[in-house]
Amino acid sequence: MTGTVLKSTGKWYTVLTSEGAVVKCRIRGKIRLQGLRTTNPIAVGDIVTLTKDNSMEEDFVIEDFLPRKNYIVRKSTNLSKQMQILAANIDRAYLLVTLKSPVTQLAFIDRFLVAAESFRIPTTLLFNKIDIYNSSEIEEIDNLIALYAKIGYPSFKISAEKGINIDLLASEIKGHQVMISGHSGVGKSTLCNCLDPDLELETGDLSIAHDQGQHTTTFAEMHRLKNGGFIIDTPGIRAFGIVDLERENIPHYFPEMRELLGACKFHNCLHLNEPKCAVKEGLENGELAISRYNTYLQLMTEDPNDIYRRSIYE
């Protein structure tokens, strides 16, 4: 029998079987011996093979998992080089962005997009809480949407609280397995509830002291929507650290830079101080956004061996 992992809370997993039943499972120990550099061999979204646990009347054992289409990871702690697989087999990621309450920095957006590109996960940006912005803030969002749409990232203005533009999102998600990410307080759980009110996920208030949301999701969990499809609600992100990317590969994860790589004078150009660099020329003539290039510089100058680098999820 096969099934899809809906939730993991350590030793136990909640799995939706191919027969439509939701069962409780534990993991066969041998899976932990495959040399993975992760703290969890099985993640939400994994397709697993199950057998009946004869020692427990209603429980099953996960014997193995099928090859993944993709996955996304986070560092397990600031002091650890181990990683945790957050979710697997993601058809699309949706990053919720807010200009205030809380503020989502452009560098954070870009780092998330780079990570998604490296894991081959298509991403859509959702600018949430448009019901609380004034005209100048809406104009700022429109400018950001134009910036990211030019690069190739679909971007939409929504309000999960007021149900604005949610129908468009619901039809896009139908029949797919998607992930919702963003800072704590940007409205991930509220969005899930709006897409399917039967979920009744807990939502949290914003911390006045830190302008951040209170964590209401501590584990990634996948929910089955009544109109079809699955949505993975993830823990709130405070910082985003890029995991295991070689410096020479980083330009390939910026789509607008990737298109120019063959036009540089030197084939091994890092687009920093090299002469006749097509990327730097694109920056000078306005083809590339300065904010995106600044994020690129940050990634290129970070020490990959620094154990105190920011973790992806906190």
Q: Does residue 198 form part of some domain?
A: yes
More confident residue, 83 or 106: 106
pLDDT on residue 52: 86
CATH code, domain carrying 117? 3.40.50.300
- Answer yes or no: are the C-beta atoms of 120 and 151 closer than 8 Å: no
Q: Does residue 245 form part of some domain?
A: no
Q: Are residues 229 and 97 in the same domain?
A: yes
- Answer yes or no: are the C-beta atoms of 225 and 195 closer than 8 Å: yes
Q: Does residue 199 form part of some domain?
A: yes
CATH code, domain carrying 14? 2.40.50.140
Structure letter (DSSP) for residue 47: E
Per the structure, the complete domain to which residue 293 belongs is given by 250-301
- Other Cβ atoms within 10 Å of 283 Cβ, number: 18
**What confidence tier does 212 reach under pLDDT thresholds 50, 70, 90?**
very low
Residue 218 confidence (pLDDT) above 80 = no
Q: Which residue has the tokens 């959702």?
A: 126
More confident residue, 221 or 238: 221
Tokens of 309: 């680098």
pLDDT tens, residue by residue, 69-99: 998 887 655 545 667 788 999 999 999 999 9
121-145 mean pLDDT: 96
Residue 276's Cβ-count burial label (10 Å; 0-12, 13-18, 19+) is exposed
Q: Are strands 206-207 and 92-97 parallel, antiparallel or unpaired?
A: unpaired
More confident residue, 55 or 116: 116
**What confidence tier does 67 reach under pLDDT thresholds 50, 70, 90?**
very high
Whether the bond into 102 is cis, omega within 30 of 0 = yes
Q: Are residues 127 and 199 in the same domain?
A: yes
273-294 mean pLDDT: 94
182-199 mean pLDDT: 89
